[in-house]
Structure 1
Amino acid sequence: MRPGDDTMNSIVQQVARQALATFRGCGRVGEGAGICLPEQQSKLRALMTQVRAADLRLAAPRTADAQQRHPYHGTPPPVTYMHICETDEFSMGVFLLKRGASIPLHDHPGMHGMLKVLYGKTRITCFDRLDRSSLSGAPAGEPSSSPPPYQNGSLRRSVLRSTGEYTEHSGPCVLTPYRDNLHRIDAVDGPTAFLDILAPPYEPDDGRDCHYYKVVPEEAREAGGAQTEIPTGHGSYVWLMEIPQPSVFSCGPEPYPGPGVCL
């Protein structure tokens, strides 16, 4: 602990303790995942709203020192991650995106998420996956639910649920196992950073592995082509094709300079 640090009373410590209380009883895949007490979630959202970059000893990089903040030889990755803490219930850290960088469209199977922007502007585009029951009860006028003739087994029927831009003055973006779980994150007009909580953490052995997707707009069905552009209309129905991690995306570690967490 550094001289003058008050780790036990820091806002980061308070967020971590509340995250533990919020997600301790949420369950795992196949065990009622996603059932959390609303009052605990509200407390966590309120604490996350208070967090500022200065609380984690972060500041938006200046052009002159943007390269120096990354401990890499050669070109630094477009996205870096500062690990803060991890338990069986949740993980917490900070993602930092360079100007023009994106975290590609991906999912968090059976997991909750909360993202709080610390500096810059972040665009988050969210999709919901539609299962067969939701398709059978779809309203009249919805486009055909038949998959395209190519890559049939790797396509997931989905709907564009929301697109929002967040700054340090915004509240957190909240993701659940069933709502806004598939999403893409873009840096807008410069570098950006956000505090990120995932509950429970990724764990492939427990069925929580990250999958990446490419958008196949409804109008591209007949043409048999896939594309990465995100549709602009909320409620747009699309097919999401599972793909390997895009080669243009990489994420590297970066030291966390803020107060520690004790759980």
Structure 2
Amino acid sequence: MVFASFRRYLSMRHQSSKVQDLYDHCKTVFSPSGMPPPSSQPLLKLSSILDTIKPADVGLKEEAADDDRGLGFFGANQLNRVARWAKPITYVDIHESDSFTMCIFCFPTSSVIPLHDHPEMTVFSKLLYGSLHVKAYDWVEPPCIVESKGPGHSQVRLAKLAVDKVLNAPCETSVLYPKHGGNLHCFTAVTACAVLDILAPPYKEYEGRKCTYYHDYPYSTFSAGNGPVCVGEEDEYAWLAEIEQPSDLYMNTGVYAGPTIQL
């Protein structure tokens, strides 16, 4: 009995060290006034720490890949469509400060976080379990903006595709930067999955870091005049139009069940 208790203590200590190491490193690297440049050693180390983290390290258990809700149009029973969409994404807050946010998103199958941006932010995303489709863009610079012909005659801005692939756990940590790496992205759960995110600095509307949502249109939808797109590369570009936060985007607030972090 004593030996079993000691093993549980060692296991908890091991789990705690991973999350604590992650927090300690983030606290050292990030500050409200700035952060290291991309590809610097501190950021590479942060990715390497995230690469080692598993669901149990943050208090999660893997969900069944064929969970019975959130399946949307992939479900076979059309009459049960409403019930299948009913399960929302769960947001779990681990830590938030003026410098960075540590959080987890738990997705039921086919759930979506629509296309959105991370203004002046760097984001590390670690897929903990399951499969996730990521589609991401970066703005074309200098900005290429045209007036749309749709309702309201809103503007659309040209963006270049940076990522369009399915991630399957276990896999390396993904990183996006303010100007490259796919700062505008959309997540679609292929199976039930969970993502551990580090956002630095965090969203703060009064500091100009407001989350904006977008709809992407194929390049052929609008004319760019003498725009930067080369013939044969049209599929690599899209026009993005700002939209209101989708009314069907709803998230539950979950409770962090992992090891306590010593601040």
How is 1:184-199 mapped onto 2 (pairs within 5 angstroms)?
184-188=186-190, 190-199=191-200
Q: Which amino acid aligns with 1:260?
A: T
Task: Assess, with a 3 A threshold, how the Cα gap between structure 1 residues 175 and 234 changes in structure 2: closer, same or farther.
Answer: farther
Q: CA deviation at 1:48?
A: 0.5
Cross-structure match for 2:184: 182
Q: Which amino acid aligns with 2:20?
A: Q
Cross-structure match for 1:103: 113
Q: Which amino acid aligns with 1:186?
A: T
Task: Assess, with a 3 A threshold, how the Cα gap between structure 1 residues 234 and 54 changes in structure 2: closer, same or farther.
Answer: farther
Residue 120 of structure 1: which of 115, 123, 130 is its match?
130
CA displacement, residues 124-167 of structure 1 (integer Å, 9 cap, x when unaligned): 11100123x365xxxxxxxxx74433455542211111113223
Q: CA deviation at 1:111?
A: 0.5
Cross-structure match for 2:261: 261
**Alignment length (residue pairs):** 229
**Secondary structure, in 3 states, of the residue corresponding to 2:258?**
coil
Q: State the alpha-carbon separation in 1 of the partners of residues 256 and 68 from structure 2.
A: 16
**Secondary structure, in 3 states, of the residue corresponding to 1:248?**
coil
**Secondary structure, in 3 states, of the residue corresponding to 1:10?**
helix
Q: Which amino acid aligns with 1:95?
A: F
Q: In the alignment, does 2:52 pair up with 1:50?
A: yes
Q: Which amino acid aligns with 1:176?
A: Y
Q: CA deviation at 1:13?
A: 1.0
**Secondary structure, in 3 states, of the residue corresponding to 2:192?**
strand
TM-score scaled to structure 1, two decimals?
A: 0.77
* Superposition misfits of 4+ residues, deviation over 3 angstroms: 33-37, 62-67, 74-77, 145-154
Q: State the alpha-carbon separation in 2 of the partners of residues 134 and 245 from structure 1.
A: 23
CA displacement, residues 197-226 of structure 1 (integer Å, 9 cap, x when unaligned): 10011110101110000011122227xxxx
Identity of paired residues, percent?
Answer: 31
Q: CA deviation at 1:77?
A: 4.5
Task: Assess, with a 3 A threshold, how the Cα gap between structure 1 residues 37 and 26 changes in structure 2: closer, same or farther.
Answer: farther
Greater relative contact order structure (CA < 8 Å, 6+ sep) = 1
Q: State the alpha-carbon separation in 2 of the partners of residues 115 and 184 from structure 1.
A: 13
Q: State the alpha-carbon separation in 2 of the partners of residues 25 and 85 from structure 1.
A: 15
How is 1:57-136 mapped onto 2 (pairs within 5 angstroms)?
57-62=59-64, 77-131=87-141, 133=142
Q: Which has the larger radius of gyration?
A: 2
Contact 1:8/1:262 (8 A) holds in 2: no
More displaced, 209-218 or 58-67? 58-67
Task: Assess, with a 3 A threshold, how the Cα gap between structure 1 residues 185 and 245 changes in structure 2: closer, same or farther.
Answer: same
Contact 2:103/2:196 (8 A) holds in 1: yes
More displaced, 99-108 or 3-12? 3-12
**Secondary structure, in 3 states, of the residue corresponding to 1:6?**
helix
Q: Which amino acid aligns with 2:166?
A: E
CA displacement, residues 7-61 of structure 1 (integer Å, 9 cap, x when unaligned): 895211111111222223762xxxxx77357000010010000000111121122
Q: State the alpha-carbon separation in 2 of the partners of residues 254 and 165 from structure 1.
A: 25
Q: State the alpha-carbon separation in 2 of the partners of residues 64 and 126 from structure 1.
A: 26
Where does the alignment leave 5 or more consecutive residues of structure 2 unmatched? 1-7, 70-82, 224-232
Residue 18 of structure 1: which of 25, 38, 42 is its match?
25
RMSD of equivalent CA atoms: 2.8
Q: State the alpha-carbon separation in 1 of the partners of residues 167 and 16 from structure 2.
A: 27
Contact 2:218/2:238 (8 A) holds in 1: yes
Q: Which amino acid aligns with 1:110?
A: E
Q: State the alpha-carbon separation in 1 of the partners of residues 165 and 192 from structure 2.
A: 17
Contact 2:146/2:156 (8 A) holds in 1: no
How is 1:178-257 mapped onto 2 (pairs within 5 angstroms)?
178-179=179-180, 180-188=182-190, 190-221=191-222, 236-257=236-257
